[in-house]
Structure formats: C-alpha cells, structure tokens
Amino acid sequence: MKLGIHAYAWCSQWSNDTLYLIDKVKEMGLDFIEIPLMRLDTFDAEAVKARLQQVGLGAVTSTVLLEDTDITSDDPEVRARGVDYLKACVQATADIGAQSFSGVIYARHGDPTLSRPGEHLWRYSAEGLRPVARFAQTLGVQIGLEPVNRYESCLINTCEQALRLKEMIGEDNVKVHLDTYHMNIEEKSFYAATKLAGEDLIHYHICENDRGIPGTGLVDWDGIFRALAEMGYQGNAALESFVDNTDNMTTWVWRKLAPDGDTLLREGVAFIRAKQAEYGMI
C-alpha cells in the first residue's frame, strides 16, 4: 500500500506558493501527495510535474463538483460544463504524470436537495462520466468514485452505490475511492465495505471520525486493515484532514482538528505504519 497525504492538511488552495509541500511530503518519507484540482486557474501542471520529478515523489489528484459543474443538474448547459471541467481535471492529472483522479465527481457536493434522488440523477451522472472515463482511458488515468455522507451528497453514500454507478458507466477504468470519515456515518461495517470494493478499490482516505489524527477516535482501524491485508491491497491511501475553511469548497472546519498539519502527519503516519506492520502490510 502506498501512503500519502492530502495537501489540504496544510493549505486551503493549491498554487505555486504551495509547491514546497511536495518537498515536505517527500522528507516525511511518504509515497505521494494528493493535490486538489478545485481551482485549475491556480494549478500549474508544468511546475508541479517538475517539482515531483525533482524530489522523486508520486501524486494523485481529486476534486468535487459544485453547483455550476453539477453533471446531475436539470440544466443541460451546467451538465456540459461539468463534463468539460472533469475532462480538464483528467488532463491536468495526466500532465503531471499521475494516473489516479477521484473525488465527488458524480454529482454536486453539498447538494441542498430535500428529496431522494430519482433515477434520472443516476442516468445523468452515468451519462456525464462515461465520456470523461473514455477520455481518461486515452491518457492512462483511472477515475475513482468517492462515496460521501448524506450531508454532502444525496446520490452516493456507500460503496455499494458507487459500484452501482460504476456498472452504469460501463468503463473499466472507473473505480472506487473509499473514505473512513464518510464510512463511519454510512457503512454498517468498515471491513465489509472495504472487502466489497475489492479489486475496484484504488484510493482510500484515511481519516478519523472527526477528521482528526488517525487512531484518536472511533474508526474501526482493525477491521479496515484486516480487510486490506486479506485483499493484498497495493493501491493508494492518503491521510486527509482540513486545516481551515476554503473559498473553493465547503469543509465545515469549525475547530482545530490537530495542533497543525505537521503534527497530524507525524502522529497519523506513525499510527498507520504501525497498523500496516501489525497486519503484515510492510
């Protein structure tokens, strides 16, 4: 299993001013950094790729859809804009030499709807992601669907639902991205959900139930690592916590979840490495 960390542990927006985080993650002995693509206008792919190659670090990317890029919108122009945005994210991913792009890319993040999603939303999502996945195939990029909790999406809250949408899309490079923070709310079993993802699992967000330091809360880490060990998981896993609110997505960070990003990383990595060793994954 490759271990990394989301850049939002230190920053609220990616730009060339945060390129130093690539060096920091490498110095901490991690395998990759997860770079957010919420603001493509501040994302310099050439500079990111050069820095990654210079320090010898891997990368993955992620994003969420907002109101003006919602591929499940009733407005066809918004759906088309969402497809264009996702394709641009895939291109940016390939441009830095990465092969994994994931997140809440199937519907609007934080959708305020008050009704259960109809079948048309599933159809819109699948129809929007299918051309994105096909474009990604030409660039060697895999796409991960990340289930999130009921307060952040009405469409995909569980691994089972992510697999349903994957089947509707019908493209081999569409995979699953699990997140322990959301699983803590929506899944009946961390172990069962992880095993259900099986070979389709390409990315795992390692978060405590409050998004704080892993190992300090309620998440069933033994169930998770037992499942990953049984699966022989070789994919990516990233610590994910947010240090602050952002102006490009809603993170709901109202208090400090760790003293600082460095403490989160240091203590979180130590805990995860210990679990890997305990379950024979190192």
CB neighbourhood size of 218 (10 A): 9
Alpha-carbon span 65 to 276, nearest angstrom = 33
Q: Nearest-CA neighbor of 63 among 33, 40, 96? A: 40
- Is the distance from CB of 34 to CB of 5 less than 8 angstroms? yes
Buried b (16+ CB within 10 A) or exposed e, 17-42: ebbebbebbbeeebbbbbbbbbeeee
In one-letter notation, the amino acid at residue 205 is H
Find the helix packing angle between 190-197 and 221-231, rounded to 10°.
20
Is 61 in a helix, a strand, or coil? strand
Q: Does residue 240 carry a catalytic annotation?
A: yes
Residue of 34, 152, 208, 240 marked catalytic? 240
Q: Does residue 160 carry a catalytic annotation?
A: no
For residue 235 the two structure tokens come to 């994919």
Residue of 146, 152, 187, 208 marked catalytic? 146
Catalytic residue ranges: 146, 240
